[in-house]
Amino acid sequence: MRAVLETLQRSWTAAQWQAEVEQAAETLQGHRVVASLLDNGAAFALLDEALRTAGMVHLPLPLFFSAAQRQHALRAAGADALILPQAAAVGLPCGAWRLGDEELARVKLDAAPVDLPPGTQTLSFTSGSTGEPKGVGLSAAALDAVRDGVVAALASLDIERHLSALPYAVLLESVAGLAAARRQGATVLAQALSSLGLTGASQFDAACFDAVVRQRAPHSLILLPQMLRAWVGHLQGQGLRAPPSLKIVAVGGAAVGAPLVEAALRLGLPVAEGYGLTEGASVQTLNRPGAQRPGSAGQALPHARLRIAADGEVWIHGALFSGYLGEAANPAGEGWWPTGDLGQFDADGHLHLQGRKKNLLITAFGRNVSPEWVEGALRSQAPIGQAVVFGEGRPALAAVLWPSQADPDLQSLQAAVNAANRDLPDYARIACWELARAPFDARSGMATANGRPRREAILALHGDTLFQAEES
């Protein structure tokens, strides 16, 4: 009989798993909103299922949240209990609890109850563009619809082993990874994220990750674009092919780009780019097996309906969130939700994203430019690892670049910018650029946890010199 979940220490049969879920649900009786601060492992998965069984709300806190962000989320949600490892609870009044193969602490919190969006089963806090996370209420029905949509789309692959490579506290892994794998009867392979080479929200050891994948031989996994970029670089540098067990490597969280997808495919990595958002309970589109379109976000999954508004914005319908925490009404209601993303469909229904609506730049010549479009052109050049483009109200665009390799050759970077410019119209070309003073990651404060650049922070750090070449 196939195991339900397998850590580095032990595995669980379906009967063992169900018994622990029921026991945990009984232990948690009396709580309303239970927060967790846990690494990937059996304890998180058991806790999540137990809370659903008991009709309680789960507030997963990402490990990469700051202490201030955690406190904000706990207060805003009215959490009355916090589950965390015993080793992290030193000095806190708590009770010991063994769940799965982990020694945990249950901390009772003195929090006043708050009004939650109707039907909320999970509270997902975004990292927030200003650092203060925003709570999104998600119902069990919405989460299950997305889970089942992913399972249906990938049914032909017959996935039997899924390796969790992203935090369970992040919706993409918890729904499209953990829940979908459990639903289709696959064994979930779980272990601490640091043992996979992922530290915090932005430090990734591709060599360590590659070794784990080859050892545990999963059929599927989910990555963020920067993780894929680093892994592809490692494989190319070592002259390696993809681990042979893989049937799909789903990639989401931010734009990937056709050059990276094509490079991965040449190495044998079965990459499938997708698109989703928290307000849609995670995944909306995916490049399905046999219908790949590199550079696109794929086609709508069975649970999702999408349309493009007159101004190019992507709207979604189907598995929508129940509302924002602290807001009286659900802004989505029963209708369509504007994602804030710009895109278009090709003739076969593949979604091609073209940047964020709110990031649209209007140059001094009145040209509308999506910075993500230009950034994608820059990243398609091998010397450029990351790029962020500015130019609101200016006659020309400027870019801040982070190189793909240490000790960058400035001449190579300039040649890369020139090459990208040749494929862009004149109003979208980069007139001047600057080497970034810090990497675009969460640790530096230059990006969110899922890799989206914090544009205001980057401009604040580089704005004193960025446009000097243009002005001289």
Do β-strands 187-189 and 5-6 pair in parallel, antiparallel, or remain unpaired? parallel
> What pLDDT digit, counting tens, does each position of 27-36 carry?
999 999 999 9
Higher pLDDT, 130 or 171: 171
Residue 407 backbone class (left: φ over 0; alpha: ψ -120 to 50; beta: rest): left
pLDDT for res 130: 40
Tell me the per-residue pLDDT of 60-106, one tens digit each, with 9 for 90 and over. 998 877 787 889 999 999 999 999 999 988 878 888 999 999 999 99
Query: What is the pLDDT, as a whole number, of residue 64?
Result: 77
| 167, two tokens | 């935090």
Name the strands in the sheet holding 305-308, side by side, starting at the edge strand that comes first in the sequence: 305-308, 313-317, 337-345, 351-356
* CA distances for 127 relative to 62, 63, 65, 172, 343, angstroms: 9, 12, 8, 14, 23
In this structure, are residues 314 and 351 in contact, taking their beta carbons and an 8 Å threshold? Answer: yes
> Given pLDDT bands bounded at 50, 70 and 90, which one contains residue 221?
very high
d(CA 210, CA 236): 12
Helix 225-238 × helix 206-216 angle, to 10° = 90
- Give the CA distances from residue 223 to residues 48, 164, 198, 449, 456, in Å, rounded to whole numbers and listed in that order: 22, 9, 11, 13, 26
Q: Are 222 and 176 in contact (CB under 8 A)?
A: yes
pLDDT given at position 129 = 39
Classify the phi-psi angles of 174: left when phi > 0, otherwise alpha if psi is within -120 to 50, otherwise beta. alpha
Residue 424 has pLDDT above 90, yes or no: no
Instruction: Supply 395's token pair.
Output: 């006659």
**Residue 149 corresponds to which tokens in the numbers above?**
């949509």
Cα(424)–Cα(402) distance, integer angstroms: 20
CB–CB of 86/96 below 8 Å?
yes
* Band (127; pLDDT cuts 50, 70, 90): low
Quote the pLDDT of residue 201. Answer: 60
% pLDDT > 90, the chain: 66
148 has a pLDDT exceeding 60 = yes
Which pLDDT value is given to residue 358?
A: 81
Q: What is the DSSP string of 173-228?
A: HIIIIIIHHHHTTPEEE---GGGGTEETTTEE-HHHHHHHHHHH--SEEEE-HHHH
- State residue 470's pLDDT score: 54
pLDDT score for 359 = 81
| More confident position, 332 or 123 | 123
CA nearest neighbour of 220 among 276, 155, 277, 282:
155
Establish how many alpha carbons lie within 13 A of residue 101's alpha carbon, considering only the half-sphere containing its beta carbon.
14
Structure token digits, residue 165? 């490579």
**pLDDT-derived band of residue 387, with 50, 70 and 90 as boundaries?**
very high
Let me know: does 165 contact 300? Beta carbons within 8 Å. Answer: no
Residue 131's pLDDT band (boundaries 50, 70, 90)? very low
Mean pLDDT of the chain: 90
The token pair at 50 is 């137990």
Spacing of C-alpha 135 from chain mean position? 16
SS3 136: strand
Element (H, E) at 324: strand 323-324
Q: What is the pLDDT of residue 330?
A: 65
Q: Are 134 and 128 in contact (CB under 8 A)?
A: yes
Q: What is the per-residue DSSP string for 362-412?
A: E-TT--EE-HHHHHHHHHTSTTEEEEEEE-TTSSSEEEEEEESSSS--HHH
In whole angstroms, what is the distance from residue 379 CA to residue 229 CA? 11
Determine if residue 57 is left, alpha or beta; phi over 0 gives left, psi from -120 to 50 gives alpha, anything else beta. Answer: beta
Q: How does pLDDT run across 103-116, given as a tens digit for each residue?
A: 999 999 988 889 99
Give the count of beta carbons closer than 10 Å to the beta carbon of residue 110.
5
User: What structural domains does the chain harbor?
Assistant: 1-354 (3.40.50.12780), 360-471 (3.30.300.30)
Phi, psi of 420 (to 5 degrees): -65, -40
CB of 71 closer than 8 Å to CB of 82: no
Non-local CB neighbours of 216 within 8 Å, separated by 6+ positions: 161, 163, 189
Q: What is the rounded CA–CA span in Å between residue 307 and residue 315?
A: 5
- Report the DSSP beta bridge partners of residue 106: 83, 95
- Indicate whether 458 pLDDT > 80: yes
295: confidence class by pLDDT, cuts 50, 70, 90: confident
pLDDT digits (tens, 9 = 90+) for 306-364: 999 999 999 999 899 999 998 866 666 568 999 988 899 999 999 998 888 888 887 87
pTM summary value: 0.81
Which DSSP category does 144 fall into? Answer: H
328 in helix, strand or coil?
Answer: coil
Say which residue, 11 or 254, is predicted with more confidence: 11
Reduced to 3 states, what is the DSSP secondary structure of residue 146?
Answer: helix
Eight-class DSSP state of 358: G
3-state secondary structure of 397: strand
The one-letter amino acid at 158:
D
Place of tokens 């709508």: 300
Two tokens, residue 119: 């039907």
pLDDT band at 128 (very low <50, low <70, confident <90, very high): very low
Closest C-alpha to 168, from 128, 214, 129, 124: 124
Please tell me the predicted confidence (pLDDT) of residue 331. 65
